[in-house]
Structure 1
Amino acid sequence: MPKTKFQKVIFGMMMALAMVYGMEVYNALLRNKGLSADSFVVPVWEMAVLMLIVIGLESIIAGPLARWIAFKIVDVKKSREITVILAVSIATVCLMCPLMSLTATILFNGLSKTMATVWLHTFVRNLPMAFLWQLLIAGPVVRLVFQSIFKRQLSCGQEQNLTVN
C-alpha cells in the first residue's frame, strides 16, 4: 500500500472520493425511496465539501485512531497484509461513519432540537452500507487502481525491502 507521503495523499483522495460518492448515491436512493438515474448525479460542490471534510477528519482523528485500534487487535508483524488492511478498514468505518453522519446532519439539516435523533437515525441507516461499500467495493477497487498507478514504485519498494532484510 502507500509508502511515500505523496502516495498516501493520492490514496487518501481516491478513497475519500470512492466513499463519499458511494454513500451519497446510497443516501439519494434512501431519500428518493428507490434507485433512479438521478441517484447517481451528485453535485460537484457537495462532493468537494464532503471530500474535504472526510480527508480532514480521517487525517486528524479517524485515521490515526483507527490504526491505533487495529494495531492493538492485529499483530502487524505476524499477520497477513489483508488482515491488517481489514482491521484498519473496519476501525476506520467505525469511526468515520458516526463523524460523517454528524457532519451530514449539520450540513443538510442544520442545528436543531431534533439534531441528536436525526444524527442517530442517519448513523444507524448508513453504518451497514458504509461497511459493505468499504469492504466489498470501494476498498478493493481503490487498492487495485492505486496499485496499478503506482505499480513501478511499489515494486521497487518491495525489492528494496527484500534486499534490506
Structure 2
Amino acid sequence: MPKTKLQDVIFTIMMVIVMVYAMVVYNISIDKGGVTNEVFVLALGELLLMGIVGFVLEMLIAGPLAKKLAFRIVSPREDKMIFVILAISSMTVCLMCPLMSFVATALFKGFQEQFVANWIQTTVMNFPMALCWQIFFAGPLVRLIFGKMFPEKRTV
C-alpha cells in the first residue's frame, strides 16, 4: 500500500488505468451488443479522457471519502489488512461508480430529457462489474505490481 504522496499518485494512476479501461470495454461491449476485437481498440480511444476524469475524481473526492467511510467499519491497526483493503476498495467503487457513470452518461448520451434515468441505469449496470473487477482482478493485480515497484522494508 502507498506510504507517501508520490506513491499514492502512482498507485492511483495504475488503478485508474486498469479500472477505467475495463469499464470502458464493458460499456462499449454493451452498446455494441458484445465483445469484439474492435471494442478493445475503441476503448483505448476513450481511455485518456476517462482516465483523467477518473484520476481527478479519485484523488479529490472518492479516495479521501472512501477511506473515511471504510475506517468507520474497519481499523487499520486492529483488523487484518485484507479486511481494510476490501473495505476501502468497496467504498471506492460505491463512490466512483455513480460519479464515473454520471460523466459517461453526460459525455456519451448527453443531457437530455431522460438523463437521470440513463444515469441510474448506467450506474446499476456498471456497479456489479466494477465491484467484481476491483475486488478480484484490478485490485490484486495493481497491488502486486505496485508491491514489486515499492517493496516494503522489513524490520527484524
Q: Shorter chain as normaliser: what TM range?
A: over 0.9
Aligned residue number for residue 36 of structure 1: 36
Number of aligned residue pairs: give it: 156
More helix by share: 1
Aligned residue number for residue 79 of structure 1: 79
Aligned residue number for residue 131 of structure 1: 131
Aligned residue number for residue 142 of structure 1: 142
Write out per-residue CA displacement over residues 26-85 of structure 1, whole angstroms, 9 at most, x where no aligned residue: 112211211111121135452111111111111111111110000001122110111100
Give the 3-state SS of the residue equivalent to 1:42 in structure 2: helix
Aligned residue number for residue 14 of structure 1: 14
Aligned residue number for residue 120 of structure 2: 120
Which 4+ runs in 1 deviate beyond 4 A? none
Q: CA contact under 8 A between 2:12 and 2:55: conserved in structure 1? A: yes
Aligned residue number for residue 3 of structure 1: 3
Who wins on radius of gyration, i.e. which is larger?
Answer: 1
| Distance in 2, Cα, partners of 1:121 & 1:59 | 25
Report whether the alignment pairs 1:62 with 2:62. yes
| Distance in 1, Cα, partners of 2:52 & 2:38 | 23
Give the 3-state SS of the residue equivalent to 1:11 in structure 2: helix
Q: CA contact under 8 A between 2:14 and 2:142: conserved in structure 1? A: yes
Which letter does structure 2 place at the counterpart of 1:73? I
Which letter does structure 1 place at the counterpart of 2:24? E
Aligned residue number for residue 110 of structure 1: 110
Aligned residue number for residue 88 of structure 2: 88
Structure 1: where are the runs of 5+ without partners?
A: none
Which letter does structure 1 place at the counterpart of 2:116? A
Moved more, 122-131 or 2-11: 2-11
Q: CA contact under 8 A between 2:76 and 2:84: conserved in structure 1? A: yes
| Distance in 1, Cα, partners of 2:43 & 2:127 | 23
Which letter does structure 1 place at the counterpart of 2:27? N
Q: Cα distance 1:102–1:138, how it changes in 2: closer, same or farther (>3 A)?
A: same
